[in-house]
């Protein structure tokens, strides 16, 4: 099927490459000529696993990139809108990019076309799109509007797209529903996984749930899903704060909670809070929508507040570990909002580094993928970027871990000790083990677990001298 996708960002580029992989003829359109030129030259503006391989496989064949909307849209059976919906001051999403694309689509379509909302938008947006199309002289029979929310996660976006848990189609006509089913057929009839180029995700369902509903419900599914996940993160962060106060161990608590099949382990990971281009924006958008409809969704306000508090508590821990912060040299590992991506939008790592800089620290930062993107938003005379984790640690008063990259969990503690001026680590992602850090002579702070102090280190040394294998860290 001929498909057009408007927007070549994290969602549009992945959706485009994956639809080409499923056998469709795809044109991805973006108004940013530099991005389009890079993509035409085989360069990806984002870091995403398997995307380079899909681009190499399909670009110039079943996958094209252009700045021209009119041509491809006029020939496509479905046009996916995947432009940004960033937050406004009010908390509502800025839908002006969607609006402007819809107006362009209205002027371009020639035959019956399904307009698909892939961007995350509030309930009732499909009504606005329909109205805009009609205001631009399009008859009801020329088009349908479908909500098809995207649930991919940056870092595993390609695999998530090709092996999803569910596909949601919010449609008000059977004609549009059937066309959407046809687009996803290679996933639904399992034909893609019979001879996959992208390895099958064993944990994903063999056949995803297909949820066909009305457009407003589909729009709500996306906002409610992200709000729920953000709530789960804030919930466990709040529990971790209580855990610290009663000297419990959050890892055991998470296991104890998460093994209840009604709750599940996923997203029960305490840290420095959620970030990225979706959760903060979608929680505030969902709250704003509810408020507009006359319902104050105050739970979501708490979710946001806990998230912010988590950053402040982390900076307080850095202070506790270092006494004063002015002129202290801090190695910061991580800039992306999570491991596996170069996305720094609403990254708690960036927010924390900004706070440390405001306190007068010198910061040397390293991230395996996000350095260039961070450079665009984070600049200071007191900030430098290193080329490796150990280079960042060189002669630093302390190390802070801000992003959950796998490689940070595998750091060589001997090399860390050699590089750092003082063996002090404040781990915002619980990537390292307190007992091990005590045994290795580190003062170590993490989230929801007792801190390893100099006294613990001394006790660990003594225990090692006595031949003991395990040192239990208790306050």
Classify residue 200 by its DSSP letter: P
* CB closer to ligand NAD, 3 vs 357: 3
Residue 205: how many CB atoms within 10 A of its CB?
A: 11
Task: Return the bridge partners of 81, or none.
Answer: 6, 117
Stretch that binds ligand NAD, among 4-12, 315-323, 365-373, 389-397 (CB under 6 A): 4-12
Between CA 459 and CA 286 the distance in angstroms is 50
Q: Which of 3, 4, 12, 385 lies at the binding interface for ligand NAD (CB under 6 A)?
A: 12
Between CA 363 and CA 272 the distance in angstroms is 18
Rule CB under 6 A: is residue 101 a binding residue for ligand NAD? yes
Rule CB under 6 A: is residue 91 a binding residue for ligand NAD? no
Rule CB under 6 A: is residue 244 a binding residue for ligand NAD? no
Spot the catalytic one: 243, 278, 293, 361. 278
Rule CB under 6 A: is residue 10 a binding residue for ligand NAD? yes
Stretch that binds ligand NAD, among 26-34, 183-191, 243-251, 267-275 (CB under 6 A): 26-34
* CB closer to ligand NAD, 345 vs 433: 345
Stretch that binds ligand NAD, among 106-114, 146-154, 253-261, 314-322 (CB under 6 A): 146-154
Hey, which residues between 34 and 63 contact ligand NAD (CB under 6 A)?
35
Rule CB under 6 A: is residue 16 a binding residue for ligand NAD? no
Rule CB under 6 A: is residue 82 a binding residue for ligand NAD? yes
Rule CB under 6 A: is residue 132 a binding residue for ligand NAD? no
Stretch that binds ligand NAD, among 10-18, 123-131, 229-237, 324-332 (CB under 6 A): 10-18
* CB closer to ligand NAD, 83 vs 401: 83
Sign of CA dihedral 333, 338, 340, 345: negative
Rule CB under 6 A: is residue 119 a binding residue for ligand NAD? yes
Listed residue (346, 338, 417, 414) closest to 378, CA to CA: 346
Per-residue binding letters, 250-279, with ligand NAD (x by CB under 6 A): ---------------------------xx-
Listed residue (411, 214, 237) closest to 314, CA to CA: 237
Helices marked H in 8-110:
10-21, 33-40, 51-58, 70-75, 96-108
Q: Min. distance of Cβ 464 from ligand NAD in angstroms? A: 45
Rule CB under 6 A: is residue 125 a binding residue for ligand NAD? no
φ, ψ for residue 45 (rounded to 5)?
-75, -5
Q: Min. distance of Cβ 35 from ligand NAD in angstroms? A: 5
Per-residue binding letters, 151-190, with ligand NAD (x by CB under 6 A): -x-x------------------------------------
- The count of chain residues that interact with ligand NAD, using the rule CB under 6 A, is 26
Contacts (Cβ under 8 Å, ≥6 apart) of 202: none
Q: Which of 100, 225, 249, 291 lies at the binding interface for ligand NAD (CB under 6 A)?
A: 100
DSSP 274-338: --TTTHHHHHHHHHHHHHHTT---HHHHHHHHHHHHHHHHHHHHHHHHHS--TT-EEEEE--SSS
Rule CB under 6 A: is residue 448 a binding residue for ligand NAD? no
Rule CB under 6 A: is residue 241 a binding residue for ligand NAD? no
> Under a CB-based contact definition with an 8 Å cutoff, are residues 58 and 20 in contact?
yes
Q: Which of 4, 5, 6, 55 lies at the binding interface for ligand NAD (CB under 6 A)?
A: 6
Rule CB under 6 A: is residue 78 a binding residue for ligand NAD? no
Rule CB under 6 A: is residue 32 a binding residue for ligand NAD? yes
Between CA 451 and CA 475 the distance in angstroms is 7
* CB closer to ligand NAD, 97 vs 184: 97
What does the radius of gyration of the chain's CA atoms come to, in whole angstroms? Answer: 24
Rule CB under 6 A: is residue 95 a binding residue for ligand NAD? no
DSSP 136-193: TT--GGGEEEEE------TTSHHHHHHS-SEEEEE-SSHHHHHHHHHHTHHHHTSHHH
Q: Min. distance of Cβ 27 from ligand NAD in angstroms? A: 12
362-366 β-sheet, strand order: 383-385, 362-366, 329-333, 398-401, 424-427, 443-445
* CB closer to ligand NAD, 286 vs 442: 286
Q: Can 254 be counted among the known catalytic residues?
A: no
Q: How many residues does the chain have?
A: 475
Q: Which of 3, 5, 7, 363 lies at the binding interface for ligand NAD (CB under 6 A)?
A: 7
Type and span of the H or E element at 117: strand 113-117
Listed residue (401, 389, 395) closest to 329, CA to CA: 395
Rule CB under 6 A: is residue 286 a binding residue for ligand NAD? no
* CB closer to ligand NAD, 235 vs 279: 279
- 3-class secondary-structure state, position 82: coil
> Under a CB-based contact definition with an 8 Å cutoff, are residues 27 and 60 in contact?
no
> Under a CB-based contact definition with an 8 Å cutoff, are residues 115 and 143 in contact?
yes
Q: Chain-centre distance of CA 326, in angstroms?
A: 32
Q: Min. distance of Cβ 16 from ligand NAD in angstroms? A: 11
Interface ranges with ligand NAD (CB under 6 A): 6-12, 29-32, 35, 82-85, 97, 100-101, 119-120, 150, 152, 154, 277-278
Active site residues: 278
């Amino acid at each position: 099927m001929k498909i057009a996708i408007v927007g070549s960002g994290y969602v549009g580029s992945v959706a485009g490459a994956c639809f080409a992989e499923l056998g469709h003829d795809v044109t991805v359109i973006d108004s940013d000529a530099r991005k389009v030129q890079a993509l035409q030259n085989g360069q990806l503006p984002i870091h995403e696993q398997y995307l380079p391989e899909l681009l190499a496989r399909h670009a110039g064949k079943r996958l094209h990139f252009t700045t021209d909307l009119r041509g491809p849209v006029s020939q496509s059976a479905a046009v996916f809108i995947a432009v940004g919906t960033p937050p406004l001051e009010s908390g509502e999403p800025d839908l002006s990019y969607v609006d402007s694309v819809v107006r362009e689509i209205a002027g371009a379509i020639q035959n019956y076309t399904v307009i698909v909302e892939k961007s995350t938008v509030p309930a009732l947006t499909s009504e606005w799109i329909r109205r805009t199309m009609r205001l631009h002289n399009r008859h009801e029979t020329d088009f349908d509007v479908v909500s098809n929310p995207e649930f991919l996660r940056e870092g595993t976006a390609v695999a998530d797209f090709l092996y999803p848990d569910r596909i949601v189609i919010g449609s008000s006509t059977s004609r549009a529903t059937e066309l959407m089913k046809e687009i996803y057929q290679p996933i639904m009839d399992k034909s893609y996984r019979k001879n996959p180029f992208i390895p099958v995700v064993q944990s994903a369902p063999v056949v995803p749930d297909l949820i066909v509903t009305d457009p407003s419900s589909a729009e709500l599914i996306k906002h409610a899903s992200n709000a729920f996940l953000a709530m789960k993160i804030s919930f466990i962060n709040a529990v971790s704060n209580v855990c610290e106060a009663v000297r419990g161990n959050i890892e055991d608590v998470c296991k104890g909670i998460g093994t209840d099949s009604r709750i599940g382990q996923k997203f029960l990971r305490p840290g420095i809070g959620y970030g990225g281009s979706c959760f903060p924006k979608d929680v505030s958008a969902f709250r704003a929508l509810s408020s507009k409809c006359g319902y104050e969704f105050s739970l979501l306000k708490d979710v946001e507040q806990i998230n912010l508090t988590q950053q402040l508590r982390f900076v307080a821990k850095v202070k506790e570990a270092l006494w004063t912060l002015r002129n202290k040299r801090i190695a910061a590992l991580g800039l992306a909002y999570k491991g596996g991506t170069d996305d720094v939008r609403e990254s708690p790592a960036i927010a924390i580094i900004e706070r440390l800089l405001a306190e007068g620290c010198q910061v040397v930062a390293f991230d395996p993928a996000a350095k260039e993107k961070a450079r665009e938003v984070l600049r200071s005379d007191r900030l430098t970027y290193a080329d490796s984790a150990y280079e960042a640690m060189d002669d630093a008063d302390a190390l802070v871990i801000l992003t959950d990259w796998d490689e940070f969990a595998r750091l060589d503690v001997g090399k860390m000790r050699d590089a750092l001026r003082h063996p002090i680590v404040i781990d915002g992602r619980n990537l390292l083990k307190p007992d091990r850090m005590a045994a290795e002579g580190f003062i170590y702070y993490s989230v929801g677990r007792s801190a390893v102090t100099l006294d613990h280190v001394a006790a660990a040394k003594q225990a090692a001298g006595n031949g003991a294998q395990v040192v239990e860290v208790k306050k």
